[in-house]
Amino acid sequence: MCGAKLRGDNIGSTEIQFIPGKRIKRGHYVADTRTAGSISLLMQIALPCALLADGPVTLDLKGGTNADMAPQIEYMTEVFRNVLKLFGATFDMTVHRRGYYPKGGGFVTVDVTPVQKLVATRVMERGFISKIYGWSFVAGTLPMRLANQMSEGFKEKISDLHPRTDITVLKEDINLAPNNCSGIITVCETSSGCRLGAAGLGRRGAAPLDVGRAAALALRHDILSGGCLDTHLQDQVIIYMALAEGRSSMRVGDITLHTKTAIYIAELIANVRFEVEEDGSQNIIQCNGLRVYNRHHPNQAELLPNRY
């Protein structure tokens, strides 16, 4: 995307040099993990670049749509995109085929319109719970009772916080999702527009009720923390805070190790300064961004400062 040169990318290498070009190019790009590797993680890598390209970008991403140890694809549209819009950016997504462990085979298209700049945002007021919703699914040859049990387990552990929980129980279309998988994806939306997410995937030896319960306990933890971002969203916003124009502030619960690592890398590479301030049981992450302007923006290039 940026015409980079890469050196040292060989087996046994102890050092890699990545030298980006001066322009992020519009176009159609394909990335294929050839495994069940997470499509959501491919998105995390590509989006900041695509948003600062010199024209529209289409990403064809192949791998796992619902993978363990990574955000589910629905998380990216329901939770991540919600906060990305606050930075003045968004994306469109089409899921052509779902991919699960171990076969993968998922295929997602992400369409990105570049921005002139990312704007700083303050996400400080959580508000009260307005709704909790989500999906409990089975795919392939797995029976519907697994999806029902995951939904029941989730509601069992969350109902005292919000009794009206809307979990859609479904069997994935065999043409969209031919391989076996089960899981639950849930979202808590608040009166201030914040969204917190939690999910769980079925696996051999795990009772479906327990998968649902675990997702509920994870969501419950983030709700009770009082933060505006869940534990999986904290680290994902760090790069956007660093690039934005102005001072961003985010109220979160406990700072995760992923977030600490993202802050460390951003400060090391971009020469920005993050501040983490304790505020009772929560933490406030703040940063004065770099004010990165897209001087190659297709519609407003002549109006922008000569910096990238």
Among the options 162, 221, 258, 296, which is catalytic?
258
Beta pairing class for 129-139 and 106-112 = unpaired
Number of H helices, E strands in the chain: 7, 14
Angle (CA) 4-108-209 rounded to 5° is 125
Q: For residues 265-275, b (16+ Cβ closer than 10 Å) or e, as one string?
A: ebeeeeebebe
Q: Which residue has the tokens 């394909």?
A: 30
CA distances from residue 181 to 66, 139, 171, 252, 304 in whole angstroms, order as listed: 9, 5, 10, 32, 48
Segment holding 74, helix H or strand E: helix 73-75
Q: What strand order describes the sheet that includes 92-97?
A: 27-32, 57-63, 106-112, 92-97
The answer to whether 308 and 293 are in contact (CB under 8 A) is yes
The answer to whether 99 and 62 are in contact (CB under 8 A) is yes
The answer to whether 99 and 106 are in contact (CB under 8 A) is yes
Beta pairing class for 57-63 and 106-112 = antiparallel
Spell out where the chain has E strands: 5-7, 17-19, 27-32, 57-63, 92-97, 106-112, 122-123, 129-139, 165-171, 181-190, 195-201, 247-252, 274-279, 282-288
Active site residue 258: yes
Q: What is the 3-state secondary structure of 219-275?
A: HHHHHHHCCCCCCCCCHHHHHHHHHCECEEEEEECCCCHHHHHHHHHHHHHHCCCEE
Catalytic site positions = 258
